[in-house]
Amino acid sequence: MVRRPLDGVRVLDLSRILAGPLAGQLLADMGAEVVKVERPGAGDDSRQYGPPFLDGDAGRMPGFSGFFLACNRGKQSVAIDIASAEGRAIVRRLAAESDVVIENFRVGTLQRYGLDYASLKAENPGLIYCSVTGFGQDGPMAERPGYDGIFQAMGGLMSVSGHADDSPGGGPMKVGISIVDVITAHYASIAIIAALYDRDRRAGQGQHIDLALLDSCVATLSHFAQNYLISGKLQQRRGNAGYGGVPSQSFRCADGSLFLTTGNEAQFRRLCHALERSDLITHPLCVDNLTRTVNREAVSVLLEAVFLTRDVADWLERLDSADVPAGPINDVAQVFANPQVVHRRMATEVDNPLGGTMRVVANPIRYSDTPIERATRPPGLGEHTAEVLCGRLGFSMEQLAEMAASGVIGMAG
C-alpha cells in the first residue's frame, strides 16, 4: 500500500453543500479516513443539486449529482438522524474516537444538540473541531444565513470583477463558480492540518477553528485589498484586462480569442517581433510599461487590430516560439482535451456505483514520496452505516435493524 500524508487520521464530517464537504474531501485525498454523517432518507442537500445526475450501466441515480460528486470523493457515508437522542449519542461516540470534526451548521445549532466543540472536547481533549459558517462564530451578523454569491457581493469580490460601469455590459460581476466556498475549503484544510501538527507538539491538546466565508472572501482580495489599505483608493474593474504589465488581457483573433501577459520589457519586445510590428517597441504609446499603462486602451486597440488578422492557433504558435506567455481561452471540454491537462492526469477514473467507471477531477497536489493515487468514488447515502457502526462502535446487525426501523439511522440497500 502506498503511504499517504494523513494515513491514520480520522475525520467526522458533519457538513453539507460545498465548503465543509470539499475540505473533508481534500483531507480524504491525503489519506484521512473521512466518515460523512447524512440525514436518513435525504442526505446532503447537494445530492439533489442537479441535473446533471450520474448515469451508469444500471441507469441513473438522482442522489449522485455532479455537485455532490465534486466534493465527497473518498468518504464513507453513514445516515444518522441527529435530531434524535439516540442518533446524537452515536455521533458523540464517533467524535470521541475521531481526530477532526468538520461542521457548517448555523451558529448555536449543534450546541443545542450537545455536539458543539465544548461538549465534544470534554470527551476528546485532542479533538480538532472546524466550524465553517457564513459570518463566523461572533459579531453582529454571526447568526445570519448566507450562500457563496452573497459573500462574493459583501466581501468585495464582485466589486473588482467585471467590466467598468461605462462599458457595454459593465457593472460588478459574480465569479462563475462558487469560488468563496472553494477558497474557504482550502483555508479549512490548511487550518486543520496545522492544528493537527500543533496538537502533536502540545501533548495532544486540540482546538476549535472558527472559519467564516466572509472572512475568506476578504482575505482572497489579496493585493487588491492591500492596495486599498495603503492608498485609500478603490481598484477599478478592467474586465478581461490584467493589473500588472501592459498588455495583460484577452485579444480577439480571426476565429476566437486568446489571453497574453507581458510582465517585463523583454517580453514586450518579443511580442512586437512575434506580431511583426517591431515599430511598436519605440512607438510613443509603448516605450515602457508606465507609458503603456497610462495609455492602456489605446495600446489595446493597436494590438487587437493586429491580432484580428490571424487565427488563434497561428498566433499561439508564434507567441510560444517567441517565449511570450499566452494561452487559448478554453471551455471546460477544451480544458480536459488539453495535452498538458491530459499529461498531468487532472481527470481520473474511479468506480461508478451504477456500474463501470466514471471520471472525476483529480487532486492537483503532487507529492514525491506520498503520492495521492488511490482515488475512491463518492459514497451512496448510508452506504457505510453498517460498516462504520459495527466495525468502529461494536453495534450488532440486530441493533442496526432496530434503529433503522425507528428512523434513527439509514442503511443502503
What is the structure's pLDDT at 96? Answer: 98
Catalytic annotation, pick one of 13, 181, 210, 215:
181
**Torsion angle of C-alpha atoms 7, 11, 16, 17, degrees rounded to 10:** -20
pTM recorded for the entire structure? 0.94
CA distance 142 to 140: 6
Q: Give me the residues of the chain with pLDDT under 70, please.
A: 1, 56-62, 413
Residue 181 known to be catalytic = yes
Q: What pLDDT is stored for residue 413 in this prediction?
A: 61
Question: What local confidence, expressed as pLDDT, does residue 60 receive?
Answer: 67
| pLDDT (0 to 100) of residue 368 | 93
Strand-by-strand arrangement of the 257-261 sheet = 248-252, 257-261, 326-328
Q: Cell numbers at residue 145, please?
A: 444565513
pLDDT at 59: 64
Q: Which residues contact 156 (CB under 8 A, 6 or more apart)?
A: 217, 218, 221, 224, 225
Question: What pLDDT is stored for residue 203 in this prediction?
Answer: 85
d(CA 80, CA 86): 9
pLDDT at 220: 97
The domain ranges of the chain are 10-220+343-410, 248-252+257-328
Q: Which CATH number fits domain 248-252+257-328: 3.20.20.80, 3.30.1540.10, 3.40.50.300, 3.20.20.60?
A: 3.30.1540.10
- Reply yes or no on domain 10-220+343-410 having CATH 3.40.47.10: no
Instruction: Give residue 353's pLDDT.
Output: 83
